Structure 1
Amino acid sequence: MLKRKLGYLLICLLACVTLSNVDAGTNDSQEYNQTNHYNTPKGFMNDIQTIFKGNDGYYHLYYLLNSNYKSENDGTEWYHVRTKDWDHFENLGVAIPKFVNGWSAVASGSIYPNSNGFFKDLPTTAILAYFTSYTESGQHQYVAYSLDDGRSYHPYNNGQPVMRSSSKEQNARDPYICYNDSNKKLMMYLAEGDKIGTYASSDGKNWEYQGATILNQGSLGGKDLGLVECPNLKTFYDSSSGVTKHVLFFGANGYRYGSTTGTYYMVGQLDRQGNFVAEQQPERLDQGSDYYGANFYQESGSAVISLAWMGNWDYLQGQILDDQGEESKHIGSVSSARELKLVRRDNKYILESFLKNTNRKTNSVSYQSNSETAPLSADGYHRNLLTVSRWHSQEISLNFQGNSAALTGHIRIIINQADSQVLFDYNADNGYYEVKRTSSKIIGDKQANYERSYIIQSGWSQQKECHFYLVADKTSLEFALPNGQIYSMLKLSTDDKMTLIVETSGSNTLSASLSNFEP
């Protein structure tokens, strides 16, 4: 009997080792999964496609998923999830598959509910999806329709594109579709290199060019934003003036501005042809390196909810290792949801962002410390303002007050894990902050892109106090600053523990609280 038990235990141990080896370097590895953010079930994810409210009372969204990342059948398709609270998501599976119905891989686009009966040959319950497919002859726009609340889609227009690129090299992608109540036409906003083209249609199949929003050096004061992607259009009601503003969102790079790829917005109006006419220069929606392929839900006339892919093409397709030293093929999560509101500040409109987190919080702790009683190092920093080790998924609230008239000096917030570090260095005297990060999990020629530091102007300086709200998870950090600015970033780590360190060179007092985020 004893031999049989020992034999059974040996088989179980061998099975565990085998499973671990199978997971290493596969599309199913779980080591980069987060606790307080949505994780793709397998493979590699990127752009968020559309967010809409379903008949079931849930918020639904699609994103691009490559479940065969770096393997055969490589390419993206639309994956479908739903949520009631923006924190807990239910996977509903692939909605628009790749390499079928005449299209190739399925890239970015948007949906249009047929609730107003615009498409006469489909019921009003139908949902239509417009998307780009990268084919051998170029970037073409396709349409598919759903009759089961967006769970599955069938080819429309006999599976033929409704718009073809003029050449294989032309940039023409990521159609955003909406209805223009003034001209009773369907409108398409299409990313076309350094501009967003505007098209109108009376039947959803044939499109007429209306004009474009130009985003080149001439229109942006000598500094362009490179290749433009993922356009989106929303409205915001300004209660102070009683007017409604249109806001055009899009993805672009910020290399000419000392930044990286990210999500941008412009405030303006639509002309009679439906072209977006900017009234202000572009602003970055999120200051961080990993808020891209964003999408938006119009919650009310004055509030919009946004989610984005937490990733960056500059490094995320590089060599990222798991704990077995194998190249990871399962990476991808979605940002925390945030509410956007339009405010007028310094004679221009600004979108303020506020993180929405409803997950259960446990094991809450509070701390009080003063730089006057903390030891002073030779370099002028009070090193022990706060040092605490916690679980990797945390809500962190840090409130600083100046011991004199205002906050002074630098405030450093450091997140350490066994395989990564993030340094947030805020200068209270001038409002600038620098963000640096390192990770032993990324190797090769993309490591320098990941570890590049960025310096941002917060617009918040010489204040009596300053509050930072941080959402920390296993592989991400989202910093919320006191003026509605957010910095979102990945931190490539597989460590379940983290250490928070706070230090200052000024005469400042800290009140801090931390809570575990529970799944």
Structure 2
Amino acid sequence: MKKILNSLASLTFASSLTTNVLACNANNDSFTVLKEIDMVDGDKKLETEKFVNSFHVDTPTRIENGKTYNGMINDVQGALFDGEFWNVYFLNNSESTFDDEGKQLGGEGTDWYRMKTKDFIHWEQGGVAVKKWHKWGDAASGSIFFDKDKDFSNKGGYVSLVTAYGGERGQNIMAFQSDDGINFSPLNNEEPILKNGEPDGSYPNFRDPLIIKRNGLFTMYLAQGEEFGIWSSSNPLSGYKRVGTYKPLYGMLECPALYKMNVNGDVNNQKWMMIYSGNGNNTWFKPKKSDKLSTGMYYTVGTLDENNIFKEEQEAKRIDFGSDFYAAKFWNQQNASSDIEEGQNSLLGMGWMSNWDYATKTPSIGKWGNLSIAREIKLNYVNNFYDVSSTFVDLKNQVEAIQGTDSDFENNKLNSRSYQLDLDIENLNSNKDILEFKLGNSFFENKIRLNFKKNEITSSRTSQYKTLIKNSGYLQSRSYKANIKNKTDIQIKLIVDTTTIEAQMPDGSTISMVKFSDEKENEKLVLQSSSEIKVNYKYYNFKL
């Protein structure tokens, strides 16, 4: 495994700025800044490195027959462990390009692409796993099923459940098989295992299949607009009949996943957890429940009846509270081979770091989109509520660290654009304090504000790029009720790469956001506080 020399500094700040600086946010809330700390002064990137991340998965560059392909990536499809590598699958349209208004300029259709990793920080290209342009269309979102009982074919192995986009035929569900997860071939004589049943040209929502095997049935959950249609058959390749629906909050539903979880790690206390993509701005269904956080990942808990129909016991809650963690997939760490009835202590997952409000309008060098870092989630029961805790995979163990001193910080500014910053903040007045992180320069700014009096965390941002400067989805301020009251000492983790910031807050909640610099100025990270806090930090440089 490649080792990188990095800097770690454990420092305490005693000095403060006591000038009466007034800080504001998008909600016009202001506070007097009593202490300001310049934390990181990130160097400008070369033009050839513009928008290129160091340890996040970017759109892969492929060269075939002398031609270079880049394009766009989006939805994560799942992952498999082959004994040495984790193989992560996602959608990739290698031929797509977009104009300044986000309009696609040819290059239709997506493949399933595979990247592999041992540690979720160093990545290798694996190539196309499920090819587009079979006779029913391309290969869009779905999921992976481990066919250990050889129900789909006498080969067993892995099955990719795929949404085929077929022009006038609309969306239909296909199955592909692979022995090793490298190359998948169509099953069922290249015919859909479930057709949408509507006339050609009607194009209904009929996508993102998830299949579970339980009680002698193969049960498929499909995203069908504002609800998940539930289909069942005794044969995984045919004969599906609709047996029910599940309609959670935050419609525009996509990307379902279903697992039995050990609550608080207890095998004697288990709940089924449904995970899905939704739109928190949606006011069509239960408008008073809108969380006004835009699209993102949600979870809820409940039971499965004898027909494998999910019965919700608790309304959905956000997994990540930022703007850019969507179309994620989570998988069990025992690999896909474990039984559906086996309770999981935790799941590992990754998401697409973008948002359809601006996904095709972000600045680029011919590549659009990247994936998040991996995170582990657990289901806990706290204060009469089932809550998901998220922890980013431990990146810092992949690097060698050098400790610094106060003078090291003063004389040698931390200047990476790809780093992890672990903060211990002390001497908070938890009843009135405000902390605000600002990352950016005069061209753009991403903010995260912690308001301890309101028990609220807010993320917001600005951009001078012409396609984003007035984009309401990109500029939307996102606030949520947190659990940060009555805390005088807190820990915060910031993980930053060229176009990303992923943050873990003191209550364990996470915020994922993208950002785009014009590279004409350094990118600075500044912490402002309404009181005389004391900060200790550890800094890890992940410039690969």
Aligned pair 1:106/2:139, yes or no? yes
Given candidates 280, 287, 309, the residue that maps to 1:254 is 280
Structure 2: stretches of 5+ with no match in the other structure: 1-45, 61-69, 98-104, 282-289, 335-343
Aligned runs of 1:23-422 on 2, under 5 Å?
31-41=50-60, 42-54=70-82, 56-70=83-97, 71-99=105-133, 101-119=134-152, 121-124=153-156, 126-135=157-166, 136-147=168-179, 149-167=180-198, 168-180=202-214, 183-206=215-238, 207-215=240-248, 224-238=249-263, 239=265, 242-255=268-281, 256-299=290-333, 301-318=344-361, 320-322=362-364, 328-358=365-395, 359-360=398-399, 362=401, 365=404, 390-402=415-427, 406=430, 408-417=432-441, 419-422=443-446
Task: Indicate the SS of the match to 1:129.
Answer: strand
Cα deviation, residue 508, structure 1:
2.4
Deviations 1:385-427 (A, max 9, x none): 9x965211111122222266x4642111111246421111111
Residues 359 and 369 in structure 2, CA contact (< 8 A), matched pair in contact too = no
| Separation (CA, whole Å) in 1 of partners of 2:108 and 2:419 | 35
1:468-483 alignment, distance < 5 Å = 468-483=492-507
Compared with structure 1, are the counterparts of its residues 365 and 313 closer, same or farther at alpha carbon in structure 2 (3 Å cutoff)?
A: farther
Deviation at 1:137, TM superposition (A): 2.2
Residue 367 of structure 2 aligns to a residue whose secondary structure is coil
Q: What SS does the corresponding residue of 2:471 show, helix, strand or coil?
A: helix
User: What is the distance in 1 between the residues matched to 2:469 and 2:443?
Assistant: 19
Cα distance in 2 for partners of 1:237, 1:492 equals: 40
Give the AA of the match of 1:302.
N
Counterpart of 1:308, as a letter, is G
Residue 512 (structure 2) aligned to one of 469, 474, 488 = 488
Amino acid of the residue matched to residue 247 of structure 1? Answer: M
Instruction: Give the letter aligned to residue 371 of structure 2.
Output: V
Computed over aligned residues only, the root mean square deviation of the Cα atoms, in angstroms, reads 2.5
Higher RCO structure, 1 or 2 (CA under 8 Å, sep 6+)? 2
Percent of matched pairs sharing the same residue: 27
Output the CA distance in 2 between the equivalents of 1:311 and 1:427: 26
For the residue of structure 1 that corresponds to 2:222, the secondary structure is: strand
Asked if 2 retains the 8 angstrom alpha-carbon contact of 1:364 and 1:516, the reply is no
Partner of 1:436: 460
Q: 1:442, CA displacement in angstroms? A: 4.9
Q: Distance in 2 between matches of 1:240 and 1:114?
A: 28
Contact (CA 8 Å) 2:428, 2:489: kept in 1 or not?
Answer: no
Paired with 1:247 and 1:403, the residues of 2 have a C-alpha distance of 36
SS of the counterpart of 2:506?
Answer: coil
**Mean Cα displacement is larger for which, 84-93 or 228-237?**
84-93
SS at structure 2 position matched to 1:248: strand
User: How many residues in Structure 1 have an aligned counterpart in Structure 2?
Assistant: 454
Distance (whole Å) between structure 2 residues aligned to residue 364 and residue 419 of structure 1: 33
Name the CA shift for 1:192/1:155 in 2 (closer, same or farther; >3 Å).
same
Q: Aligned AA for 1:267?
A: V
Distance 1:102 1:201, change over 3 A: same
- Name the CA distance, whole Å, in 2 between partners of 1:354 and 1:144: 33
TM-score in terms of structure 2 length: 0.78
Report the TM-score, using the length of structure 1 for normalisation: 0.82
Alignment of 1:438-517 (within 5 A): 438-443=462-467, 447-493=471-517, 495=519, 497-517=522-542
AA of the residue aligned to 1:61: V
